[in-house]
Amino acid sequence: MVDLALRSRHWIINEKGDIIIGEGRSEILENIEKTGSLNRTAKIMKMSYKGVWSKIKVTENYLKVRLVATDKTRGSSLTQEGKELLEKYHILKAKCLEADDKIFRRVFK
């Protein structure tokens, strides 16, 4: 049999199916933390500033917490809640991928 691999993506959604956090939003949060800038994050991700900001706002509004703090002189950074959400998403993703790999190996041994 040929070599096969499994590729999985994980999203946390609300009751309407709207994405709360997934690969893209976690990347947005990571880039904000790395660059300290929403504008630079948008450029890195080849998105509009408005697109980045609206995705953050959707998640903040649903969770009723502020994820990104902005300051005209200091730039942007993740709040404690933003850092915790990102960390929990990374933990969830790692555990899901580990479980996915085990199931994949059992099915396609």
**pLDDT, mean of residues 85-106:** 96
C-beta separation of 38 from 32 below 8 A? yes
What mean pLDDT, rounded, does the chain reach? Answer: 95
Give the type of residue at 91.
I
Q: Where are the domains of the chain?
A: 12-104
Which backbone phi and psi does 48 adopt, to 5 degrees?
-80, 155
Q: Retrieve residue 61's tokens.
A: 């509004």
pTM (2 decimals)?
Answer: 0.89
- Topology, domain 12-104: Arc Repressor Mutant, subunit A (1.10.10)
Indicate the pairing of strand 75-78 with strand 68-71: antiparallel
pLDDT one-digit tens code per residue, 49-90: 999 999 999 999 999 999 999 998 999 999 999 999 999 999
